Chain A
């Protein structure tokens, strides 16, 4: 079945850039997502990218997609303490109406 892998932890200093990586196995993945979960809260959609795109930028967030290597990354520029959270990568195949497959999440810690 489909699988999504992420590293579990990342620690960065405030003001530096953070890069969170994700790999997936389903070659038919059409939509790839990044969600953020703050302590005690639900998941909040950060951004998403279609598989026909290589890059998407949204303010401090840059998503890069390497479809050949099935690798997705999320770069957060000028990381702030408020960015400390768990970040989930997710993918869905076909039309995007199929259930998402989530990675286990990367816990980002920002050191002041």
Chain B
């Protein structure tokens, strides 16, 4: 079991560029989540999914889109990156309650 994996680990973008972050889990979990972590802010929920084909907004969804076409994958998209989106992004999955986290993606937008 690889658990929760995230691709890429690091990325630098210029303002206005787009990119997609991939989260994959091999534990057959129903629930998946995207968070961002900023210094002094803890973890803030961006979007989440309660099953294949479903998505919902979290606390800070603006500027991001998500898709869950397959149960094992949860994609986070930035259509037009802004410096305010410089952050560490964590994906998590859950069967029920306990969430299991990926190692994170460090994104810098210049």
Q: Which residues of A are at the interface with B, using a C-beta cutoff of 8 A?
A: 8, 31, 33, 35, 41-45, 48, 88, 92, 95-97, 99-100, 102-105
Pick the interface stretch among B13-21, B63-71, B73-81, B90-98. Answer: B90-98
Contact A45 B43 (CB under 8 A): no
9 contacts between A and B (CB under 8 A): A33-B98, A42-B102, A43-B90, A45-B100, A48-B98, A88-B43, A97-B50, A99-B33, A105-B42
CB distance from B42 to the nearest CB of A (A): 4
CB-defined contacts of A102 to chain B, threshold 8 Å:
42-43
B2 within 8 A of partner (CB): no
CB-defined contacts of B40 to chain A, threshold 8 Å:
8, 104
Which of A43, A92, A102, A105 gathers most chain B CB within 10 Å?
A43
Contact A97 B42 (CB under 8 A): no
CB-defined contacts of B92 to chain A, threshold 8 Å:
43
CB distance from B76 to the nearest CB of A (A): 15
Which of B42, B50, B98 meets A88, CB within 8 Å?
A: B42
Contact A99 B42 (CB under 8 A): no
Contact B97 A42 (CB under 8 A): no
CB-defined contacts of A97 to chain B, threshold 8 Å:
31, 50, 94, 96-97
Contact B100 A103 (CB under 8 A): no
CB-defined contacts of B90 to chain A, threshold 8 Å:
42-43
Contact A104 B103 (CB under 8 A): no
CB distance from B79 to the nearest CB of A (A): 23
